[in-house]
Chain A
Amino acid sequence: MGDLLALDFMRQALVAAVLVGLAAPLVGGFLVQRRLSLIGDGIGHVALAGVAVGILTGSMPVLTALVAAVAAAVAVELIRATGRTSGDMALAVMFYGGIALGVVLISKSSATSPANLTGYLFGAILTTSRADIVVFAALAVVVATVTWVLRRRFFAVANDEEYARAAGMPVMGYNIALSVLTAVTVVVSMRVVGLLLITALMIIPNASAQLVSRSFRSSLVWASLIGVLSSVSGVVVSFYAETPSGGTIVLLAIATFLVLGGVTAAVSRARRAAHERAERHEHEHGPACGHPAVVHHDHVDYLHDGHRHAPHRDHYDEHDEHERADTEEATR
């Protein structure tokens, strides 16, 4: 690892990996909540057209890609807001028009090679210039900060758009903001994971986080953590194994998901076996039910005829029957 950090380009790559690994799942969490998991993929297609224009005109492909992606992101929200069924097809025209235009334009450029195209599509962090890395880093910090500051509002709008509108929140504004953040994330990540794989880094860490977290907030934290670990280890592995960084990162993220899925399934099976349902009763335990409340670890149990009832989903579980003796006199 020490020899790795001695390499200048490797240090840059790792900084980029940390920032992308942090920002992409953070934005992706809200896309999952809005059931728009694949929208980043479409925006990535349009970004390729921007890259091609940049290469052809000799300007910075990063900036032209950013313009194309942000324009596509705003268009996505405007098309969705019309609510027409044809909107879905309009998105398809835009996304595939983007990638087709990108491929055709890049083929006309003398300054590029097929390897260069592959670099944009699948990620090639080790060949990215220092100037680009600086731009990416700055943008990634902005994306992560804005997303974190606005997280409760994004949550509210994605959770219940009608309520948010009735409460006077600028719903359209937040939707466009999230879409633009997605576009910036796509462009920032294109050299690390590539335009065709970025959606995986936005979504898969969130799929893993859903398995281990109990609140939305903790799921965002977990997703970012898993994202950073996947992307940093992906860059390191790709250096030693001489594999493309993007594919390596995504495979590691998927491996994390599979391992966590297996572990949580085993744990919940064990819990189900140990779980004892309380007898059915008509009333719901609460402040007014007359049964004394007892704080038990992270929840509240109710003493019901000498045994503890703990709320679980839509029924009650028996907790700690062995404490019955001490609590017998406390009931009624």
Chain B
Amino acid sequence: MSVTDTPLISLRAASFGYADRRVVDGVSLSQGRGEVIALLGPNGSGKTTLVKGLLGLSDHLGGEVLLFGTPLARFRDRPRIGYVPQRHSLSASVRATVREVVEVGRLTRRPWWRPAGTADATAVDEALDAVGLRDREREDVSALSGGQQRRVLIARALAARPDLLVMDEPTAGVDAANQRILADVLSALAARGTSMLIVTHELAALHEVVTRIVCMDGGHVDYDGTPRDYLATHRGHEVGDGHHHHDAPDGPGARTPGMAAIAGDPLPPREVHHG
């Protein structure tokens, strides 16, 4: 194992994109053990591309990228990063139980010819407990609500016992009650010292969990600091009072905050706060 003070992620002037199109340009960022970073930014700001670059899903186009101290190009220990993708539906084409989906997380921890053992079963049990879905492990995942499916995906990532959880919009499209449960799950993980990098539109749902906020716009990082400073300088945008999240123009009615966040893209242009 590496020394504990080696950053989990260390980027210096890093660029990511697809083919030769640069989406993220010249980003420097470092995440230490135990940090929970919210990565904010409007659509198209490059936050998802950045995260996908770390996961090997978008192209690394320049700069230095170290994962657990190893350069990205030589990094082979992928299971150390647990990825929770943004997905709205799980396996609608065939039946699959909650447990079967979570067991997928263990596959990269053993060679292809070895069947699952007791260590795998224990890790899956623990992951299901961590998201509060152990009692529903034998159900068809497609029968669960959107928020519960998101927790299944978190459990799948946890089953590999990763050193870092990378989540893409974990609360998007999830109703308020389920957002609270998700936030509780993430708080419990954070309390256990789990490091997380969370791409999100909805800081309000997660503001008790995050220890640091990084904002991106136009492929660059334009804010990196504590939630307290962020609140002071960006008050009234993402960090609401917990009742109304955004000033979306289309009536506050019965809409779910998650859907409004996707449709309304509540983050204002960052330039406003410069100068």
A residues near B (Cβ < 8 Å) are 29, 32-35, 149-150, 152-153, 155-156, 159-160, 162-169, 206, 210, 213-219, 282-288, 293, 298-300, 311-314
Contact = CB atoms under 8 A, between A and B. Distances in A.
Nearest to A150: B112
Contacts of B85: 160, 162-163, 166
B107 interface: yes
A156 B104 contact: yes
A149 B87 CA distance: 28
Contact of A166 (B78, B87, B97, B140): B78
B139 interface: yes
Given A168-B79, A216-B100, A163 B145 contact: no
Contact of B104 (A33, A155, A165, A218): A155
B93 interface: yes
B154 to A, nearest CB: 12
Contact of B79 (A167, A282, A286, A312): A167
Interface stretch (B127-135, B219-227, B262-270): B127-135
Interface string B176-205: 011001001000000000000000000000
Contacts of A283: 177
B19 to A, nearest CB: 12
A153 B107 contact: yes
Given A216-B96, A287-B132, A159 B91 contact: yes
* For the complex of A and B, 7 pairs with smallest distance between CB atoms: A168-B78, A300-B135, A166-B55, A286-B132, A166-B83, A156-B104, A215-B97
B95 A213 contact: yes
Contacts of A299: 135-136, 138-139
Contact of B101 (A150, A159, A210): A159
23 contacts: A29-B94, A32-B93, A33-B93, A149-B112, A159-B96, A164-B104, A166-B55, A166-B85, A210-B94, A214-B97, A215-B97, A215-B138, A216-B95, A216-B96, A218-B95, A284-B132, A284-B177, A284-B181, A286-B135, A287-B132, A313-B143, A313-B144, A314-B143
Contacts of A34: 93
A282 B129 contact: no
Nearest to B131: A286
Interface of B: 55-57, 76-79, 81, 83, 85, 87, 90-91, 93-97, 99-101, 103-105, 107-108, 112-113, 116, 129, 132-136, 138-140, 143-145, 148, 153, 156, 160, 177-178, 181, 184
Contacts of A149: 112-113
Given A149-B113, A213-B95, 8 more contacts: A153-B107, A156-B107, A162-B85, A164-B104, A166-B85, A167-B107, A216-B94, A282-B177
Contacts of B134: 287
Contacts of A282: 177
Contacts of A156: 104, 107
A160 B103 CA distance: 13
A165 B56 contact: yes
Contacts of A298: 138
Contacts of B104: 152, 155-156, 159-160, 163-164
A29 B95 CA distance: 10
Nearest to B176: A282
A214 B56 contact: no
A163 B156 contact: yes
A35 B108 CA distance: 24
Given A150-B112, A282-B177, A284-B181, A167 B83 contact: yes
